[in-house]
């Protein structure tokens, strides 16, 4: 996935969870008060919509940081 | 009370010594070890003066550690006050000042931020390391605590959003909690060895159920201390073999949205699943029953009535389609007092819901005027005015219909919209402000003559003063706020405006 795509993912996270602070690859659920379990799920559902894919419940369990989500999207793109 | 919550815990410590009492990740604490830990904690100088009661503020993450401190306070008959570390430091400071707390207990994660707070409270660090506990005084305070007359009866004080801009502390007694335990044990299936989820923070009163139901019946408290567990409760329930789950209803919506509900073997250990703290969506329960056979309990009750005072049990075989929404209880509930509500525009006959009985809290901490306003005498009985409006069907089921004031519920949190307006009103240049709840979001309208005032300035200010769940999703600026014929802010007009600009 390109740098631009990573920036888009970060932008999506910031918009979806109304995070004004800087976030990066290492940012994860719980790092900001706004990024809690409920807003995280809304973020995951938004990813499904934007990237036109369906994430299984078991996969959702593992996707708790920008890095994990980005790697997951990379894998999806390759398959 | 002869067999109160304290005596029940002491009895469980003896009766179930080999059973697990607390389970968090790899940490398993048996009742025997729990007893040893409590003895160690109570030897600390914090608990030295047994003749003097004082509130112990606790600022810790959800964990076995905070559970240990709370249990020790109960065994020592002390009053504890859990405060969420998620609160901004200004709000924690405001709570500590209102409480006039002489001592704060915190964990490693929160110690440094609390130390920076100005104030004269003593600061204690609590640590659980392998098989040992440590409670160390890191800063000696000099605050003189003046004891309130009713203080000795109080088990805990929980702070909730306040209409005047300052959070209010709800003082709940040991007897209130014992009465709650008696009430809830009659409603649910519990046995020694059962495992209970600890989904909510200790500063939220559902934790009273999570902690004290198992620890008075030989069960085990299992806090969700990992963020991933909160995103994926199904895995937590399966791995921990949870028997009773309690959370706010939004968690059921999360389980459904993420399709966890469809995992057939995830919820097999559950005897029952309980929801409290907000409206439980009827459709969500119907969806739950499409995939799972575990009964659902819809609990109702404000913190002022000790967790919950009424319930509605749903079984997979029930025909729920006959309801418009889920009942919160029945008119025959001994704790209910319904009084006809005059006003409003709804077609159904509405009632103001008052609560009575042994679970009604002592009052608001150090706020006698507010206590007299909300805790009153009705037909010769002490009652609490919930502010909830309800209706009843011809079978006597009671349904929640809204509020008689401007309090809202968001993610299970109680929010007084006027507290947000108070905080926004402190910003230089703000003439007036009004927050409304529209389409699940808080929208704040600000009237200001200062054209340089931007949303970011308002939000940054709010972040310093309010917890994240109280932050407005949007801030709209107006020259003046619209008013109705009575000269009050026209909230209906603002609602329309919010929907238009959504």
What does pLDDT average to over chain B? 91
CA distances in angstroms from B191 to B123, B134, B223, listed in the order given = 39, 32, 19
Q: What is the pLDDT of residue B53?
A: 67
Q: What is the pLDDT of residue A4?
A: 63
Name the least confident of B44-58, B172-186, B203-217.
Answer: B44-58
> Is the pLDDT reported for residue B150 higher than 70?
no
CA distance A30 to A35: 6
* B270 inside domain: yes
Where does the pLDDT of residue B86 fall: very low under 50, low under 70, confident under 90, or very high at 90 and above?
Answer: confident
Do B122 and B155 share a domain, yes or no? yes
CA distance B34 to B172: 24
Do B253 and B390 share a domain, yes or no? yes
Q: Note whether B79 and B455 are within 8 A (CB).
A: no
Where does the pLDDT of residue B451 fall: very low under 50, low under 70, confident under 90, or very high at 90 and above?
Answer: confident
Contact B250 A38 (CB under 8 A): yes
CATH code for the domain in which residue B252 is found: 3.40.50.12780
Nearest CA to B433 out of B424, B502, B119, B441 is that of: B424
> Is the pLDDT reported for residue B139 higher than 90?
no
**Nearest-by-Cβ selection for A41 from B254, B471, B473:** B254
Contact A38 B254 (CB under 8 A): yes
Residues of B in contact with A33 (CB under 8 A): 86, 467-468
Where does the pLDDT of residue B181 fall: very low under 50, low under 70, confident under 90, or very high at 90 and above?
Answer: very high
Structural domain count of chain B: 3
* B22 inside domain: yes
Do B350 and B255 share a domain, yes or no? yes
Residue A62: closest C-alpha in chain B: B228
Name the least confident of B89-93, B213-217, B266-270, B371-375.
Answer: B89-93
Contact B260 A57 (CB under 8 A): yes
Which residue, chain included where needed, has tokens 């240990």? B68
Do B331 and B455 share a domain, yes or no? no
* B183 inside domain: no
Decide if A37 touches B, using CB distance below 8 A.
yes
Q: What is the pLDDT of residue B112?
A: 77
**Nearest-by-Cβ selection for A34 from B254, B263, B468:** B468
Range of the domain at B242: 226-357+370-405
CA distance B194 to B294: 16
Where does the pLDDT of residue A43 fall: very low under 50, low under 70, confident under 90, or very high at 90 and above?
Answer: very high
* B340 inside domain: yes
Do B401 and B417 share a domain, yes or no? no
Contact A41 B227 (CB under 8 A): no
Do B389 and B485 share a domain, yes or no? no
Residues forming beta bridges with residue B447, ordered by sequence position? B432, B478
Name the least confident of B50-54, B155-159, B483-487.
Answer: B50-54
Do B256 and B377 share a domain, yes or no? yes
DSSP summary character for residue B18: T
Written in H, E and C, the secondary structure of B291-350 is HCCCCEEEEECCHHHCCCCEEEEECCCCCHHHCCCCCCEECCCCCEEEEECCCCCCCCCC
Do B254 and B139 share a domain, yes or no? no
When scoring A32, A33, A62, A65 by the number of chain B Cβ atoms within 10 A, the one with the most, hence best to mutate, is A33
* B202 inside domain: no
Q: Could you report the per-residue pLDDT of B22-73, keeping only the tens digit for each?
A: 999 889 999 999 999 999 999 999 988 655 667 899 999 889 999 999 999 9
Q: What is the pLDDT of residue A36?
A: 87
Name the least confident of B90-99, B265-274, B278-287, B324-333.
Answer: B90-99
Q: What is the pLDDT of residue B322?
A: 93
> Is the pLDDT reported for residue A13 higher than 90?
yes
Q: How far is B473 from chain A (nearest CA, A)?
A: 8
Q: Could you report the per-residue pLDDT of B303-314, keeping only the tens digit for each?
A: 999 999 999 999
What are the φ/ψ torsions at residue B416 (nearest 5 degrees)? -90, 115
Do B377 and B423 share a domain, yes or no? no
Contact A20 B456 (CB under 8 A): yes
Do B313 and B285 share a domain, yes or no? yes
Domains of chain A as residue ranges with CATH: 3-78 (1.10.1200.10)
Decide if A68 touches B, using CB distance below 8 A.
no
With vertex at residue B241, the alpha carbon angle to CA B178 and CA B309, rounded to the nearest 5 degrees, is 25
First-to-final CA distance of chain A: 13
When scoring A37, A55, A63 by the number of chain B Cβ atoms within 10 A, the one with the most, hence best to mutate, is A37
Q: Could you report the per-residue pLDDT of B406-440, keeping only the tens digit for each?
A: 999 998 899 999 999 999 999 998 989 999 999 88
Q: What is the pLDDT of residue B145?
A: 61
Query: Mean pLDDT across the stretch B124-153?
Result: 80
Where does the pLDDT of residue A12 fall: very low under 50, low under 70, confident under 90, or very high at 90 and above?
Answer: very high
* B364 inside domain: no
**Spatial CB neighbours of B134, under 8 Å, sequence gap ≥ 6:** B125, B126, B127
Q: What is the pLDDT of residue B105?
A: 95
Decide if A15 touches B, using CB distance below 8 A.
no
Q: What is the pLDDT of residue B2?
A: 65
Query: Mean pLDDT across the stretch A15-35?
Result: 89
State what percent of residues in chain A have pLDDT above 90. Answer: 48
Where does the pLDDT of residue B244 fall: very low under 50, low under 70, confident under 90, or very high at 90 and above?
Answer: very high
Contact A57 B258 (CB under 8 A): yes
* B383 inside domain: yes
* B184 inside domain: no
Contact B471 A29 (CB under 8 A): no
Q: Note whether B332 and B396 are within 8 A (CB).
A: yes
Q: How far is A59 from chain B (nearest CA, A)?
A: 10
Query: Mean pLDDT across the stretch B339-359?
Result: 84
Q: What is the pLDDT of residue B290?
A: 97
CA distance B96 to B308: 27
Structure tokens, B196: 């209970």
Do B289 and B312 share a domain, yes or no? yes
Residues forming beta bridges with residue B297, ordered by sequence position? B274, B313
Higher pLDDT, B164 or B303: B303
Structure tokens, B282: 């009827």
Query: Mean pLDDT across the stretch B279-294?
Result: 97
State what percent of residues in chain B have pLDDT above 70. Answer: 95
Do B386 and B298 share a domain, yes or no? yes
Contact A61 B456 (CB under 8 A): no
Q: Note whether B244 and B216 are within 8 A (CB).
A: no
Residues of B in contact with A41 (CB under 8 A): 231, 254, 257-258
């Amino acid at each position: 996935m390109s740098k631009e795509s990573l920036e888009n993912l970060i932008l999506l996270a910031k918009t979806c969870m109304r995070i004004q602070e800087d976030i990066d690859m290492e940012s994860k659920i719980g790092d900001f008060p706004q990024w809690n379990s409920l807003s995280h799920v809304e973020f995951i559902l938004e990813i499904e919509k934007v990237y036109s894919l369906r994430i299984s419940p078991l996969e959702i369990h593992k996707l708790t940081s920008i890095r994990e989500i980005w790697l997951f999207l990379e894998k999806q793109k390759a398959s | 009370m002869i067999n109160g919550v304290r005596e029940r815990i002491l009895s469980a410590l003896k009766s179930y010594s080999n059973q697990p009492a607390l389970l968090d990740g790899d940490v398993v604490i048996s009742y025997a070890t729990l007893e040893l830990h409590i003895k160690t904690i109570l030897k600390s100088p914090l608990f030295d003066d047994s003749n003097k009661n004082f509130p112990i503020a606790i600022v810790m993450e959800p964990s076995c550690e905070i559970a240990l401190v709370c249990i020790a306070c109960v065994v020592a008959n002390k009053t504890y006050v859990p405060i969420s570390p998620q609160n901004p430091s200004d709000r924690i400071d405001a709570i500590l000042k209102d409480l006039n707390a002489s001592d704060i207990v915190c964990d490693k994660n929160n110690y440094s931020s609390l130390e920076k707070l100005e104030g004269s409270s003593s600061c204690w660090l609590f640590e659980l390391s392998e098989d040992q506990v440590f409670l160390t005084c890191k800063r000696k305070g000099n605050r003189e605590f003046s004891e309130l007359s009713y203080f000795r009866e109080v088990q805990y004080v929980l702070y909730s959003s306040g209409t005047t801009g300052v959070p209010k502390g709800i003082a709940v007694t040991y007897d209130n909690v014992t009465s709650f335990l008696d009430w809830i044990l009659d409603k649910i299936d519990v046995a020694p060895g059962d495992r209970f989820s600890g989904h909510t923070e200790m500063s939220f009163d559902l934790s009273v159920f999570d902690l004290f139901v198992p620890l008075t019946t030989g069960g085990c408290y299992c806090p969700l201390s990992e963020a991933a567990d909160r995103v994926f409760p199904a895995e937590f329930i399966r791995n921990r073999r949870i028997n009773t789950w309690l959370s706010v209803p939004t968690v059921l919506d999360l389980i459904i949205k993420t399709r966890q509900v469809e995992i057939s073997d995830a919820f097999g250990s559950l005897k029952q699943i309980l929801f409290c703290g907000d409206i439980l969506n009827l459709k969500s329960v119907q969806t739950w029953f499409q995939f799972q056979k575990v009964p659902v309990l819809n609990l109702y009750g404000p913190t002022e009535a000790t967790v919950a005072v009424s319930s509605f049990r749903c079984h997979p075989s029930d025909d729920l389609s006959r309801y418009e929404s889920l009942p919160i209880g029945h008119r025959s509930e001994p704790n209910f007092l319904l009084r006809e509500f005059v006003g409003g525009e709804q077609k159904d006959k509405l009632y103001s819901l008052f609560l009575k009985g042994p679970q009604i809290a002592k009052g608001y901490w150090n706020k006698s005027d507010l206590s007299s306003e909300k805790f009153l005498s009705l037909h010769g009985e002490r009652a609490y005015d919930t502010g909830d409006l309800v209706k009843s069907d011809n079978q006597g089921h009671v349904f929640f219909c809204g509020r008689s004031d401007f309090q809202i519920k968001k993610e299970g949190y109680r929010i007084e919209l006027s507290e947000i307006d108070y905080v926004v009103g402190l910003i230089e240049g703000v003439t007036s402000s009004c927050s409304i709840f529209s389409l699940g979001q808080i929208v704040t309208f600000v009237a200001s003559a200062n054209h340089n005032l931007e949303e970011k300035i308002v939000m940054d200010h709010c972040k310093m003063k309010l917890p994240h769940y109280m932050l407005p999703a949007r801030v709209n600026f107006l020259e003046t706020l619209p008013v109705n014929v009575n000269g009050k802010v026209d909230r209906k007009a603002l609602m329309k405006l919010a929907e238009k600009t959504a």
